[in-house]
Amino acid sequence: MKAGLTNCLIITDGRQGIRNQAIGLAAALKNIQPLIYSEAKIKNSKFFHKLNTRLQCSLIKLFNIYRAEGKNIDIAIGCGRQAIAPLIDLKEKNPNIFTIYVQDPKYKNNNFDLVIAPEHDALKGENVISMIGSPNRITKKLLKKESQKFLKKINDFPPPRATICIGGNSKHHKLSKENHCDHIETAKDLIKQGFSVFITTSRRTPSWVIKEYKELSYSHKSVWGYFGEGDNPYYAFLEKSDIILVSEDSTNMLTEAASVGKRVFSLPISGGTKKFKELKKVLKNRYNISYFKGEIDIDNCEPLIETHLVAAEILLRYDEYLSRNK
């Protein structure tokens, strides 16, 4: 293991869902080995953003643009497609840096020292580590810290409590009016059963859906909705809820919910892919995540700890890398 402090650079395009994966992985590494991390957020043009990875790599070299900079970096973690070219460029200029890419790069895997890919992507290779879902920031320490920030208001909502996490439209999913009606009725059913209900939406949630959830929160004292304004109580909601319901369009949201150790239910959204169905199958078989049908089971479940397991494996590989490159 490296002596002293390990210096880690995180490379993303700044989107929160992408950042959370990379930061979650860096934080998990920090829990095992002394480490500090900094961020490089790549803000490229719309034209550059749309180019394929091969062209991006060529243009970065040719025009010296959109590079990730950092001093004395030991480990670099990239996540999201826009991080691929800067991560490869950083490695070429600094061969001693240990590079990790999170997600399936759909590019040459041997450009990275390690690739951390979802198990359902079925990516193979000596430098590939597979995991259930994606890395996240969930730890007991984080949940406790965040819940303390909102404790006074949370105490105004007595248990039992349910958190409902709503995503939205994506490349493979569409939040239909039929889906939304089912979700709203689920929230109303929980209210009737005596639950305090916490609701969060995402940047992908259609405005007409948010409007109806706002109306629901205004008309029921037992509902607290967060719709992107002010401090985000998302982690506090997860920590203080007895059950968690998550729309099934997001790998991040599903695996974050499963990492808390509470009973998790999924809410249907139209669409999906074969790979995504594989993820849902794994989560159902291993962590009992299934569709909500009105029956409440608030027993705690074994939390998903994939991020921590992957971090431990990364450090083993990193030690081997250091030994080979003495």
Domain limits of the chain?
Answer: 6-135+306-324, 140-291
Q: Do the first three CATH levels of 6-135+306-324 and 140-291 match, i.e. the same topology?
A: yes
Q: Fill in the DSSP letter of residue 66.
A: S
Per-residue pLDDT band at 275 (split at 50, 70, 90): confident
pLDDT for position 277: 85
Architecture of domain 140-291: 3-Layer(aba) Sandwich (3.40)
- Decide if pLDDT at 5 tops 90: no
Please answer whether residues 128 and 111 qualify as being in contact, where contact means their C-beta atoms are separated by less than 8 angstroms: no
Per-residue pLDDT band at 86 (split at 50, 70, 90): very high
Looking at domain 6-135+306-324, its CATH class is alpha beta
Q: What percent of the chain has pLDDT over 70?
A: 99
- Decide if pLDDT at 139 tops 60: yes
Please answer whether residues 76 and 66 qualify as being in contact, where contact means their C-beta atoms are separated by less than 8 angstroms: no
Cis peptide before 160 (omega within 30 of 0): yes
Please answer whether residues 175 and 270 qualify as being in contact, where contact means their C-beta atoms are separated by less than 8 angstroms: yes
pLDDT for position 3: 57
Closest by Cα among 311, 276, 317, 313 to 118: 276
pLDDT for position 1: 58
Please answer whether residues 22 and 304 qualify as being in contact, where contact means their C-beta atoms are separated by less than 8 angstroms: no
pLDDT for position 135: 96
Q: How far apart are CA 121 and CA 27, in angstroms?
A: 24
Q: Which of 45-49, 75-79, 126-130, 180-184 has the lowest mean pLDDT?
A: 45-49
Q: Taking the model in full, what pTM does it have?
A: 0.91
Q: How far apart are CA 284 and CA 121, in angstroms?
A: 17
**Coil, helix or strand for 111?**
helix
Q: How far apart are CA 213 and CA 208, in angstroms?
A: 9
